[in-house]
């Protein structure tokens, strides 16, 4: 990789990453950093011919066509589906960054416990002045513990592996499916059973908690449909921290309202929030259910996630400046 003559000019348009300017610009950076998260579409297109590195979560095709100097698009997270990769010049690399697995895994365990112990309806009762327990109302169910229960992981990447570590520490049995079931498993993780992707039904039938962590693709879109949900045990919990469309929205709603499913934690959605920050319409379908924990795709938003991502991005900018091979490359410059 050829070094950049002079200081690379870096444009940061991502609103979250712009809040970590101190981490991005910390020594030994040699770049010229420009933070402009509020620029409009036309302004972004106009400035692109002066940019060597774009740090962003989204990029328009018009920006790609205007990027005469661009050498690197550094996405501020793992997903790069909002980058017009095919429209970028051949000399432009695309890189991403991660560090969200641990906070997402903690979110999975947190919401699983909330659903197992009926925190949402119990909290609502307490706020309305009602004190109802197994001690004064025989209709109140006893809650289970996680020890001895089975967690099923749909996908076995970094997030699922962190979930497996936490679940095992709580005494849960771990089962999983992935595209290559015979692939290696980290030495500190014990998996009771590993199956192929087409064994989803067997995984769900054996799981008290199912966690969706697989990436969205043509093969996983609608993967967890009505038939799959119908295989789950009565009272089982589904947690989705991957992408909304992997789970069939209508099928999930039906399973929750019919009582066929014990609960769901939904952190990823069908549709995006509006420009006024209004929740996508799908949220309203689940908002009235007591057996659902709803969050706005924030399970990985720990401060440490972004501090480490900023360090990755800054280090890659320095590698580019000095002609050193980049890390986390998802599309290499040609």
The dihedrals phi and psi of 93, each to the nearest 5 degrees, come to -95, 155
Do 319 and 249 fall into the same domain?
Answer: no
Domain membership of residue 150 (yes or no) is yes
User: For 76-89, what is the mean pLDDT?
Assistant: 96
Domain that holds residue 135: 101-294
Do 108 and 135 fall into the same domain?
Answer: yes
The dihedrals phi and psi of 62, each to the nearest 5 degrees, come to -60, -35
What pLDDT, on a 0 to 100 scale, did the predictor assign at position 334?
Answer: 87
Domain membership of residue 2 (yes or no) is no
Do 278 and 233 fall into the same domain?
Answer: yes
Considering its fold, how many domains does the chain have in total? 2
Domain membership of residue 1 (yes or no) is no
Q: pLDDT tier at 274 (50, 70, 90 boundaries)?
A: confident
- pLDDT score of 125 more than 70: yes
pLDDT tens digit sequence for 96-117: 999 999 999 999 999 999 999 9
Q: pLDDT tier at 41 (50, 70, 90 boundaries)?
A: very high
Tell whether the torsion through CA atoms of 238, 243, 247 and 248 is positive or negative: positive
Burial of 178 (0-12, 13-18, 19+ CB in 10 A): buried
Cα separation of 294 and 275, whole Å?
Answer: 20
Do 70 and 114 fall into the same domain?
Answer: no
Cα separation of 280 and 272, whole Å?
Answer: 5
Do 226 and 274 fall into the same domain?
Answer: yes
Domain membership of residue 281 (yes or no) is yes
What pLDDT, on a 0 to 100 scale, did the predictor assign at position 2?
Answer: 72
Do 142 and 230 fall into the same domain?
Answer: yes
CATH number at residue 52: 3.40.50.720
Cα separation of 244 and 111, whole Å?
Answer: 17
Please compute, for residue 24, the number of CA atoms within 13 A of its CA located in the half-sphere on the CB side.
Answer: 26
Domain membership of residue 254 (yes or no) is yes
Residue 178: in which H helix or E strand, if any? strand 173-178
User: For 128-150, what is the mean pLDDT?
Assistant: 97
71 contacts 8 by C-beta, under 8 angstroms: yes
Domain membership of residue 4 (yes or no) is no
Task: For Cα atoms 61, 65, 68, give the angle at the middle one, nearest 5 degrees.
Answer: 140
Do 180 and 233 fall into the same domain?
Answer: yes
Residue 53: in which H helix or E strand, if any? strand 53-56
Q: How many CB atoms lie within 10 A of CB 329?
A: 14
Do 192 and 140 fall into the same domain?
Answer: yes
Six-digit token pair at 133?
A: 């327990």
pLDDT tens digit sequence for 157-214: 999 999 999 999 999 999 999 999 999 999 999 999 999 999 999 999 999 999 999 9
Do 93 and 107 fall into the same domain?
Answer: no
Mean pLDDT of the chain: 96
pTM: 0.93
Do 214 and 76 fall into the same domain?
Answer: no
What pLDDT, on a 0 to 100 scale, did the predictor assign at position 276?
Answer: 85
Cis amide linkage into residue 173, ω under 30° from 0: no
- Looking up tokens 């070094």, which residue turns up? 3
Q: What's the DSSP call for residue 118?
A: T
- pLDDT score of 65 more than 80: yes
Do 251 and 288 fall into the same domain?
Answer: yes
Domain membership of residue 58 (yes or no) is yes
Contacts 24+ apart (CB under 8 A), 190-194: 191/156, 191/164, 192/150, 194/156
pLDDT tens digit sequence for 223-268: 999 999 999 999 999 999 999 999 999 999 999 999 999 999 999 9
pLDDT tens digit sequence for 6-25: 799 999 999 999 999 999 99
What pLDDT, on a 0 to 100 scale, did the predictor assign at position 297?
Answer: 96
- Looking up tokens 């199956």, which residue turns up? 195
Cα separation of 193 and 202, whole Å?
Answer: 11
Do 130 and 272 fall into the same domain?
Answer: yes
Domain membership of residue 60 (yes or no) is yes
Q: pLDDT tier at 1 (50, 70, 90 boundaries)?
A: low
- pLDDT score of 5 more than 80: no
User: For 55-79, what is the mean pLDDT?
Assistant: 97
């Amino acid at each position: 990789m050829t070094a950049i003559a002079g200081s690379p000019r870096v444009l940061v348009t991502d609103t979250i990453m712009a809040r970590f300017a101190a981490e991005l610009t910390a020594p030994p950076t040699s770049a010229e950093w420009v933070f402009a998260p509020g620029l409009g579409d036309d302004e972004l297109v106009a400035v692109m011919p002066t940019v060597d590195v774009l740090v962003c979560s989204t990029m328009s095709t018009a920006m790609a066509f205007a990027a005469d100097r661009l050498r690197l698009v550094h996405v501020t997270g793992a997903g790069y589906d909002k980058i017009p990769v095919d429209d970028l010049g051949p000399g432009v690399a695309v890189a991403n960054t991660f560090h969200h697995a641990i906070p997402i895994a903690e979110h999975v365990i947190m919401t699983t416990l909330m659903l197992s112990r009926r925190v949402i309806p119990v909290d609502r009762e307490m706020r309305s002045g009602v004190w109802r327990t197994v001690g004064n109302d025989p209709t109140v169910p006893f809650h289970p513990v996680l020890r001895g229960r089975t967690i099923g992981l749909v996908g076995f990447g970094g997030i699922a592996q962190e979930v497996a570590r936490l679940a095992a520490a709580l005494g849960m049995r771990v089962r999983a499916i992935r595209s290559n079931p015979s692939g290696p498993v980290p030495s500190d993780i014990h998996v009771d059973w590993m199956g192929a992707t087409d064994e989803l039904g067997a995984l769900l039938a054996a799981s008290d908690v199912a966690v969706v962590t697989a990436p969205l693709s043509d093969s996983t879109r609608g993967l967890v449909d009505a038939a799959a949900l119908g295989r789950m045990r009565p009272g089982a919990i589904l947690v989705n921290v991957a992408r909304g469309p992997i789970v069939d929205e209508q099928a999930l709603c039906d399973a929750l309202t019919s009582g066929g499913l014990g609960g769901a934690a939904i952190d990823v959605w069908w549709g995006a929030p509006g420009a006024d920050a209004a929740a996508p319409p799908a949220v309203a379908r689940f908002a009235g259910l007591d057996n659902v924990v709803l969050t706005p795709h924030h399970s990985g938003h720990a401060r440490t996630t972004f501090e480490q991502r900023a360090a990755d991005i800054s280090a890659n900018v320095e590698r580019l400046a000095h002609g050193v091979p980049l890390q986390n490359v998802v599309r290499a410059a040609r």
